[in-house]
Amino acid sequence: MSEKRYERPDKGQTGLRRIWNATLYSVAGFRAAFRHEDAFRQECLLAGVLIPIALVLPVGGAAKALMAASVLLVLIVELLNSAVEATVDRISLENHQLAKRAKDIGSAAVFLSLTNVVLVWGLVLLG
């Protein structure tokens, strides 16, 4: 039996159609995260404040890039954490040790990315 049977019908698309569809899926993902995830909205607000500050600070280009990238990393990790949580909840809403572990590990990743912001910004500003 062919493995193709289990793939989505749009998986075979190439070129501009694939890029267009991927863009639409990404926009839908951003909208879903913004609509359903309080933490993502808060972190977007944080990014909306910190990234412009990083761009106007009198530091070098590499420092600006590191500062902005550290903030964007928080959003990336939060999106992945939200995806893990949604998947775990889709499978079952009952309490389970592995579900808790998956959610806790995702939360730890977000915490680590926020710690990274503090570290990078502290080193740039105080360094």
pLDDT in tens, 37-62: 999 999 999 999 999 999 999 999 99
Phi-psi region of 13 (alpha: psi -120 to 50; beta: other; left: phi over 0): beta
Whether the predicted pLDDT of 2 surpasses 70: no
Tell me the residue range of the domain where 52 lies. Answer: 14-126
Q: What CATH number does residue 108 fall under?
A: 1.10.287.3610
Catalytic entry in 3, 7, 37, 78: 78
Check residue 94 and report its DSSP letter. Answer: S
**Mean pLDDT of all residues in 6-35:** 88
- On whether residue 9 sits in a domain, the answer given is no
Measured torsion, CA atoms of residues 27, 18, 78, 121, in degrees rounded to the nearest 10: -90
Number of domains in the chain: 1
- On whether residue 4 sits in a domain, the answer given is no
80-86's contacts with Cβ under 8 Å and 24+ in sequence apart are 80/106, 80/109, 81/106, 81/107, 81/109, 81/110, 82/33, 82/36, 82/37, 82/39, 82/40
- Across the chain, mean pLDDT equals 94
pLDDT at 96: 95
- On whether residue 7 sits in a domain, the answer given is no
- On whether residue 67 sits in a domain, the answer given is yes
Give percent of the chain with pLDDT exceeding 90.
87
pTM: 0.88
7 is catalytic: no
